[in-house]
Amino acid sequence: MNPVRKAVFPVAGLGTRFLPATKAMPKEMLPVVDRPLIQHVVDEARQAGIEHFIFVTGRNKGVIEDHFDRQFELEMTLLERQKHKILEYLNQDLPVPGSTSFTRQQEPLGLGHAVWCARELLGREPFALLLPDVLVQHQRGCLAQMIDAARDLPANANIVAVEEVPHERVDQYGVVGIGERRGKMFSITNMVEKPTKERAPSNLILTGRYILQPDLLEILGRQERGTGGEIQLTDAMIQLARTQPFYGFQFDGRSFDCGSKIGFLAANVSYALARSDIAPEFRAEIKKILGEVDD
Ligand code: UTP
């Protein structure tokens, strides 16, 4: 398929499951260890070779734009205090000038609508979509794995990352039907949003990483409302699947739904335990807490 150069990050949601933490602060700025969720996801896109990072923001989300900019006062203070290592660490994260764009979704009308708000910036080429509240922990990021695996697919292919969940939980997710399989990639026969256990075509769910063709934006432009009165991404993908191939990709790594409290807390534990600078002390603290709770 054609190279994927652009990625869109929808960050305009209200984050109601995290109130009051998200009353004045965007959910996407909640830290997993010492990096905001959005930084983890941008890192993943950068590792996959993405060159243009497009953020769909909303009211009260200005701090996300600031996060990807220089902070001269802070830099000066760090310099005066000889904190060269932290300064270097901060500078590593700065995007290349001109490689970020920010557009606004004026009302949170749904994920599909957020993606559509980026249409002028996305243009007519395939693009990646990464949901910032989903983290996938693996040495090779999920999007890079998808792009590696997509090389031999047709130019009009759409790819969605999928993972298995227990059958009892399929009713909370978008679920895909499995067709012909080649290794971790398979053709998708159908997609159903939040099916009952009986109606679910499999127990493979959409995980928050997509490579999509620009034709999706035209479908989203029809502004058709789905569940909850929102413009749903899955509804538009189901329509696009009538004319273009969709593939599912079973990635390596563990995903965390950081939009939920349990997923977010689990991500913090898992990412902290993977950090050699803090893992030994953190492990000891956890053991102590668990010991005290069990008593
Ligand atoms: P979620 O539905 O998980 O996020 O959307 P939310 O609505 O912010 O959270 P809750 O359910 O109220 O707690 C997944 C991603 O899509 C973005 C969100 O910011 C989040 O990163 N999103 C969602 C938008 O940008 N616009 C929308 O209209 C909806």
Q: Bridge-partner residues for 174, per DSSP?
A: 193
Model pLDDT, residue 83? 95
Burial of 35 (0-12, 13-18, 19+ CB in 10 A): middle
Q: Which atom of ligand 1 is nearest to the CA of 208?
A: 14
Distance CA 115, CA 76 (A): 37
How does pLDDT run along the chain (295 residues), one tens digit per residue?
A: 889 999 999 999 999 999 999 999 999 999 999 999 999 999 999 999 999 999 999 988 899 999 999 999 999 999 999 999 999 989 998 999 999 999 999 999 999 999 999 999 999 999 999 999 999 999 999 999 999 999 889 999 999 999 999 999 999 999 999 999 999 999 999 999 899 999 999 999 999 999 999 999 999 999 888 888 899 999 999 999 999 999 999 999 999 999 999 999 999 999 999 999 999 999 999 999 998 886 5
* Residue with tokens 């995980």, as numbered in its chain: 207
Domain-located, residue 275: no
Residue 126, Cα to own-chain centre: how many angstroms? Answer: 17
Q: Which atom of ligand 1 is nearest to the CA of 57?
A: 25
Whether residue 224 contacts residue 240, with contact meaning beta carbons closer than 8 Å, is answered with no
Domain-located, residue 287: no
What is the Å distance from ligand 1's center to 18 Cα? 11
The binding-site residues of ligand 1, defined as CB within 6 angstroms of any ligand atom, are 10-17, 27-28, 56, 105, 108-111, 113-114, 131-133, 259
Domain-located, residue 282: no
Q: Which atom of ligand 1 is nearest to the CA of 230?
A: 28
Q: Which H or E run contains 6?
A: strand 6-10
Does the pTM surpass 0.75? The reply is yes
Whether residue 122 contacts residue 210, with contact meaning beta carbons closer than 8 Å, is answered with no
Neighbours of 285 (CB within 10 A): 12
Model pLDDT, residue 224? 87
What is the Å distance from ligand 1's center to 110 Cα? 7
Domain-located, residue 283: no
The pLDDT tens digits of the residues spanning 79-92 come to 999 999 999 989 99
Domain-located, residue 292: no
Model pLDDT, residue 294? 66
Domain-located, residue 139: yes
The pLDDT tens digits of the residues spanning 55-110 come to 999 988 899 999 999 999 999 999 999 999 999 989 998 999 999 999 999 999 99
Domain-located, residue 66: yes
What is the Å distance from ligand 1's center to 208 Cα? 11
Containing structural domain, residue 25: 6-259
Mutate to test the pocket of ligand 1, among 8, 14, 105 (most ligand atoms within 8 A of CB): 14
Query: What is the tally of structural domains in the chain?
Result: 1
- What is the residue with the minimal CA distance to atom 25 of ligand 1? 12
What is the Å distance from ligand 1's center to 196 Cα? 23
Domain-located, residue 269: no
The CATH number that applies at residue 60 is 3.90.550.10
What is the Å distance from ligand 1's center to 141 Cα? 22
Distance CA 128, CA 257 (A): 19
What is the Å distance from ligand 1's center to 17 Cα? 10
